[in-house]
A and B are shown apart, each in its own frame.
Chain A
Amino acid sequence: MLGVSIDTLRRWDSAGRLQSTRSGPRGHRYYSQSDIEQYLQDVDIIARHWVETSEAVEPKPDVYCQTRDVFQARLEQFQARLSRITPLTTVSLVTAIAGEIGNNSFDHNLGNWPDIPGIFFSYSIRSRKVVLADRGQGILATLKRVRPELTNADEALKVAFTETISGRFPEARGNGLKFVRSIIIGNPFSLYFQTGNAGLYLRQHDRDIVIQQVKTPVRGCFVTIGFEGLL
């Protein structure tokens, strides 16, 4: 249901993150349905709080990928879990877009993380949701190096999703978010992408990129991928 091991559940229990009620002679752990539902919804609330707050603290170890290697290992774990319930052909798309977005954070912030290096990566198979977040420089700061005329996060986010451009000039790159867009609009998935105070919501068949102003800005990027229509 939660897609985590018994050891993780025990750790969460002792940390107070998802508490159980102990019962029976062997002290089996029981969880209330409402606590679990609440926890599943919290996956993105916790990530959002992490990128909104001015307080720079590392996320909990089970959702924190300080380096790319940790992210790669957890992404493969996610892929394996998803593969148990759906064919590899569809799993590959969700894994690919999560991999592209997560690695983008490392590509653009390596050696330049403002405070906490690495990304927040969590998912709920049951809620068909993946959450990725970073406290990096954000898309505007990254793209401004090659497009000095960009003045706000809205423009930068639009450029990132529509043009082949990279903040890592002179390297030839900059396809990542166009790739993500092409997969989202061609499949029963949804994407929310926020950088600074600019937010983009994208779903299947969307032709246009519509950027909205968001009241509470985030440091770096905050992304949720929904694959409700997959299972």
Chain B
Amino acid sequence: MIISLKKFGTTLVSRPSGKEAWLAFQPVLSEISGDEEIIVDFDDVVLTPSWADEFLTPLYKQFNDRVKLHNIDNPSVAATLTILAKQ
């Protein structure tokens, strides 16, 4: 499945909105089959570690290496992923 982050908004900067996105997406995530890849598409979004911590961190915890990241060349996305990787 593909999670297009811009469907949650293009300025993904706050913790509450990240948490809300995670909670709202639970019904969709619960339908994913056992070995399906989860592609997160960062096209056209502004991202911060605060938002990502509430959405990407639990996504990784739940699905581990089944999560694949696309369109990560946007500078705010690259900077956020670098910071999260250091955690």
Q: Which residues of A approach B to under 8 Å, CB–CB?
A: 68, 72, 75-76, 79, 88-93, 95-96, 99-100, 103-104, 106-107, 164, 172-173, 175-176, 178-179, 182-183, 186
Indicate whether B62 reaches chain A with its CB closer than 8 angstroms.
no
Please, could you name 9 A-B residue pairs with CB atoms under 8 Å apart, sorted by A?
A90-B75, A92-B74, A92-B77, A96-B48, A99-B14, A103-B13, A107-B50, A173-B15, A179-B83
Q: Which residues of B approach A to under 8 Å, CB–CB?
A: 10-11, 13-17, 44, 46-50, 53, 57, 74-77, 79-80, 82-84, 86-87
Tell me if A79 and B46 are in contact (CB < 8 A).
Answer: yes
Tell me if A89 and B49 are in contact (CB < 8 A).
Answer: no
A178 to B87, CA, bound (A): 11
Return chain A residues, CB-CB under 8 Å to B11: 72, 75-76, 79, 95, 99
A164 to B48, CA, bound (A): 15
Other-chain residue from B14, B44, B86, B87 in contact with A72 (beta carbon distance below 8 A):
B14
Other-chain residue from A91, A95, A173, A175 in contact with B13 (beta carbon distance below 8 A):
A95
Tell me if A100 and B49 are in contact (CB < 8 A).
Answer: yes
Q: Assuming the A-B contacts A72-B13, A175-B83, A179-B80, are A92 and B46 also in contact, with contact meaning beta carbons closer than 8 angstroms in the complex?
A: yes
Tell me if A99 and B83 are in contact (CB < 8 A).
Answer: no
A-B pairs under 8 A by CB, number: 87
Say whether chain B's binding surface is mostly helix, strand, loop, or mixed.
helix
Tell me if B84 and A175 are in contact (CB < 8 A).
Answer: yes
Tell me if A68 and B79 are in contact (CB < 8 A).
Answer: no
Return chain B residues, CB-CB under 8 Å to A106: 14
A164 to B87, CA, bound (A): 8
Return chain B residues, CB-CB under 8 Å to A178: 83
Return chain B residues, CB-CB under 8 Å to A93: 75-76, 79
Return chain A residues, CB-CB under 8 Å to B50: 100, 103-104, 107, 173, 175-176
B86 to chain A, nearest CB (A): 8
Q: Assuming the A-B contacts A93-B75, A95-B76, A175-B49, are A103 and B83 also in contact, with contact meaning beta carbons closer than 8 angstroms in the complex?
A: no
Tell me if A183 and B44 are in contact (CB < 8 A).
Answer: no
A26 to chain B, nearest CB (A): 38
B26 to chain A, nearest CB (A): 20
Return chain A residues, CB-CB under 8 Å to B44: 88
Return chain B residues, CB-CB under 8 Å to A186: 79
Tell me if A96 and B53 are in contact (CB < 8 A).
Answer: no
A27 to B59, CA, bound (A): 59
